[in-house]
């Protein structure tokens, strides 16, 4: 392809943190009818652009680079899906009040060791800041902030507010930022409204049955 196509799934970027937004690039429930939203490296670039992890020019440059190195781009994509599912399992376990599998944490730690080596301290007008090493030909560069955010979320106070959507046909992860931390749905306008509609239908059917 000569240009990046728009990313049409999850337009609202549900998840609050890059790692959870990334985990939510699967529609439906992983335990039932999951719908894959990333099918190839071009999809990954489209999502990364949509999520603000890379610029339009960076996405176009990586698309050109992927066309030059298709086998490597495919390996990066396969690793992307592997990491995404690892991240999902880790935070899904935590959302359920459990403990992530040791093997999944090992995979994430290996990715962190590789990714954090790409960070540098660089000067600014007011001091210093963290920045990513300039590697314009790195086909996996968009994954660096995703992996970093997973490590940061695991070691932050927000970890206790990671939730998994209670929708019957959803499995998206999010951080519950509600005042009393009672949010159950990834999006009240989507899964929340469907749940309300089902409850309303059930109550209506119950009243009809009682009258009969």
Structural domains of the chain, ranges and CATH numbers in brackets: 18-182 (1.10.3300.10)
Per-residue pLDDT averaged across 35-57, rounded? 91
pLDDT of residue 204: 45
89 has pLDDT over 90: yes
Across the chain, mean pLDDT equals 84
Least confident of 54-68, 69-83, 155-169, 190-204: 190-204
pTM across the whole model: 0.82
- Give the β-pairing of 119-123 and 26-27: unpaired
DSSP string, 118-175: TEEEEE-SSSEEEEE---TT-TTGGGHHHHHHHHHHHTSGGGGGEEE---TT---EEE
Q: In 10 A of CB 166, how many CB atoms?
A: 13
pLDDT of residue 22: 94
pLDDT of residue 177: 83
d(CA 20, CA 181): 18
pLDDT of residue 10: 55
């Amino acid at each position: 392809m000569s240009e990046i196509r728009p990313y049409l799934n999850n337009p609202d970027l549900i998840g609050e943190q890059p790692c959870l937004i990334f985990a939510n690039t699967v529609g439906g429930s992983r335990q039932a009818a999951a719908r894959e939203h990333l099918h190839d490296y071009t999809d990954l670039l489209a999502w990364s652009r949509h999520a603000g992890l890379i610029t339009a020019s960076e996405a176009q440059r990586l698309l050109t680079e992927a066309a030059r190195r298709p086998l490597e781009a495919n390996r990066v994509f396969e690793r992307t899906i592997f990491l995404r599912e690892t991240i999902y399992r880790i935070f899904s376990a935590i959302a359920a009040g459990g403990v992530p599998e040791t093997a999944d944490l090992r995979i994430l730690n290996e990715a962190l060791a590789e990714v954090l080596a790409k960070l540098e301290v660089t000067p600014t007008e007011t001091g210093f800041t963290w920045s990513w090493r300039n590697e314009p030909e790195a086909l996996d560069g968009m994954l660096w902030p995703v992996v970093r955010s997973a490590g940061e979320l695991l070691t932050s106070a927000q970890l206790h507010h990671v939730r998994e959507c209670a929708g019957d046909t959803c499995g998206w992860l999010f951080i519950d930022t509600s005042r009393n931390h009672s949010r159950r749905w990834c999006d009240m306008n989507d899964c929340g409204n469907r749940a309300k509609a089902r409850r309303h239908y059930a109550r209506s059917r119950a009243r009809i049955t009682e009258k009969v």
